[in-house]
Structure 1
Amino acid sequence: MTLHPDMQAMLDRRAALNLPGFAEGTPETARQAFLEAQAALPKDRGAAVRSIRDETVDGPAGPVPVRRYMPQVERPVGQIFYLHGGGWVFGTLDGFDPACRELADASGCEVISIDYRLAPESRFPIPLNDGWAVLSALAEPALPLIVAGDSAGGNLAAGLALRARDEGMPRLALQLLAYPVLDPDLRGESHERYGGGDYLISTEDMRWFWDQYTDPADRNHPYAAPAKSEDLSGLPRTILLVAGCDPLHDEGVRYADRLKAAGVKVTLRDHADMAHGFFTLVDLLEPANAEIRVVGAMIAKALEEEIQPD
């Protein structure tokens, strides 16, 4: 598979920073590498929104910071609860601000970005519980609800969808999963082809991330590893994005196939020339902006059907 030239250019720019691989150091060095990579990017990216408000929600382990993006519409058509990527180890509200702005504008939904606690200081299920606390506290009963996330955030979104199904509430209209982390087994052709470290993350990075997030006894819990769930029926409509040049590609495709087999309505969008992380590279990678616009329109259409079914 050949990378899109702009995606390759982004990876080359990051490689020029000479940052260590995520698994080569400590959680602190991984966080520092993320911050250095973010500092090298242009500021003031993403669409304009009507308002942005920072607040906190009481969680079981303490306050959970959130950032709320209100789109430029008279009334939002839904709420998207967004969980950022970063291997459960790093990631900030600022780092994923452009993608949240763009998603709010493209979908007409309020986007609520969740600054969940990070591993290894806060291991499973603490980050998931932070997400659950925000979803429970801020969900508007009159609006359709969506859980969304990229990479490790996609894992948390999928885990929240499973928990919401199992507990019977809140009812979710949709889950949006961008190249989600789903399976700790790290198997498949995509790991063999793209797991060597030339495509942002490596298979060894993923093994290290799983070690930070979960104790061995928890690794097969379906809320920690949604691919381990034996029953995927009753989950909400799903939009699942994968990148062709990504070690995680195959586990995303397998999950989409299993969702379909369980009777879930699934849209799988497979971007053959993209690498892990592309979705959030707003105003840096044209396919990122284009994909958020397409996905935002799909969400708006799905929510219209939710409110006014055929």
Structure 2
Amino acid sequence: MTLHPQAQAFVDTLAETDSPTWEELGVEKAREVFETFEEMCGEGPDLARVEDHTMPCGVQIRLYCDRSETVPVTMFFHGGGWVLGNLRTHDALCRRLAKASGCAVVAVDYRLSPEHPFPIPVQDCYRATEYVVEHAARLGVDATRLAVTGDSAGGHLAASVAIKARDEAAFPIALQVLMYPVIEPNFDTASYRQYADGFGLTRDSMKWFWRQFLGGKPAAREAVPCRAESHANLPPALIITAQYDVLRDEGDQYADQLRDAGVDVTHRQQQGMLHAFLHFAGIFDTGMEVGHQVAVEIGERLRA
């Protein structure tokens, strides 16, 4: 399928403006620019509860819920290459997920790289999930019906938390939702070659993000979800990839890898779409529509 007209308009604008890349901007300036994308993220609905909490380790979490009764909960780990993003940048997406799913959403303001390289972002997301499980009654959520969700680098974190929770037999996770996830630092897949430049997220930017996340060191097996010793007995997975995305093939391949290990996998490749189309639902109607469908499915799966 050709690019969706809205995606084509987006890449045309990128070509016309010739803006600096993330790696050209550098860490601090890139973070400032990323926070200016609020209009692209679309609107988030008002909710009955939006609460900020600080864990004993200092990491902040934000709880979104629109129900008065105790409801299932999904952890949300934001994208941004482990370098960019915070609670504000993904606020609208989290609000939409909470509203349409009928579940609580807990977003995690994990510490960013390069100041805090691997394994710190994974540890922060794991500890936040552990915290929600341990304090479920106080937070008003049912952590026996728990999902982990993330977009892009957040998808990597969700997959990593699912693996770590299984390995440590810590708490049951009912579902992992990986939205165009980062899976491995292999920059020679067909999608990396096809969409290396000119389609939003570039191959060079992903190389830069991985360098920040790994602190310039080789990737440890634990940093790469597809290199886990086993993928058996992981939670059921809902994996969304985008056709015109450098990350497409690694997400598609991870879906196959999980399925081959006996995991229940629902995988959808969104045709005509670019990376981050769910986050930037303010400019991609498909992002709003698919985001709603994903949220509804999360609610249905956690209540099954």
Q: Normalising to structure 1: TM-score of the pair?
A: 0.90
SS at 2:79 equivalent: coil
- Give the aligned residue type for 2:196: G
Instruction: Give the drift of 1:80.
Output: 0.8
SS at 1:146 equivalent: strand
SS at 1:161 equivalent: helix
Residues 142, 192 of structure 1: alpha-carbon distance in 2 compared, 3 angstrom cutoff: closer
Aligned to 2:297: 298
Check the 8 A contact 2:200/2:274 in 1, yes or no: yes
State the superposition RMSD in angstroms.
1.9
Instruction: Give the drift of 1:150.
Output: 0.4
Count of paired positions: 297
Aligned to 1:308: none
SS at 2:278 equivalent: helix
Instruction: Give the drift of 1:5.
Output: 0.9
In structure 2, what is the Cα distance between the partners aligned to 1:65 and 1:17? Answer: 36
Check the 8 A contact 1:157/1:175 in 2, yes or no: yes
1:102 maps onto 2:96 in alignment: yes
Instruction: Give the drift of 1:106.
Output: 1.1
Check the 8 A contact 1:77/1:303 in 2, yes or no: no
1:289 maps onto 2:288 in alignment: yes
Aligned to 1:144: 145
- Give the aligned residue type for 2:31: R
Check the 8 A contact 1:98/1:282 in 2, yes or no: no
In structure 1, what is the Cα distance between the partners aligned to 2:301 and 2:241? Answer: 20
Which of 61, 64, 67 aligns to 1:66? It is: 61
1:131 maps onto 2:132 in alignment: no
Instruction: Give the drift of 1:69.
Output: 0.3
Instruction: Give the drift of 1:16.
Output: 5.6
Structure 2: gaps of 5 or more residues: 137-141
Alpha-carbon deviations, 1:165-187, whole Å to 9, x = none?
A: 00002110000000110011223
Check the 8 A contact 2:152/2:182 in 1, yes or no: yes
Instruction: Give the drift of 1:225.
Output: 1.1
Residues 231, 18 of structure 1: alpha-carbon distance in 2 compared, 3 angstrom cutoff: same
Aligned to 1:2: 2
Aligned to 2:270: 271
In structure 2, what is the Cα distance between the partners aligned to 1:304 and 1:98? Answer: 24
Instruction: Give the drift of 1:199.
Output: 1.4
Alpha-carbon deviations, 1:179-222, whole Å to 9, x = none?
A: 110011223110110112x1111111111111000146551323
Aligned to 2:20: 20
Question: Matched residues, percent identical?
Answer: 37
Instruction: Give the drift of 1:25.
Output: 3.7
Check the 8 A contact 1:77/1:300 in 2, yes or no: no
Residues 208, 94 of structure 1: alpha-carbon distance in 2 compared, 3 angstrom cutoff: same
Check the 8 A contact 2:42/2:281 in 1, yes or no: no
SS at 1:123 equivalent: coil
Aligned to 1:220: 220
Which of 112, 116, 119 aligns to 2:110? It is: 116
Instruction: Give the drift of 1:58.
Output: 2.1
Q: Write the mapping of 1:179-258 to structure 2, written as runs, cut at 5 A.
A: 179-196=180-197, 198-215=198-215, 217=217, 219-222=219-222, 224-258=223-257
Structure 1: gaps of 5 or more residues: 306-310
Aligned to 2:139: none
Q: Normalising to structure 2: TM-score of the pair?
A: 0.92
Aligned to 1:259: 258
Instruction: Give the drift of 1:28.
Output: 1.4
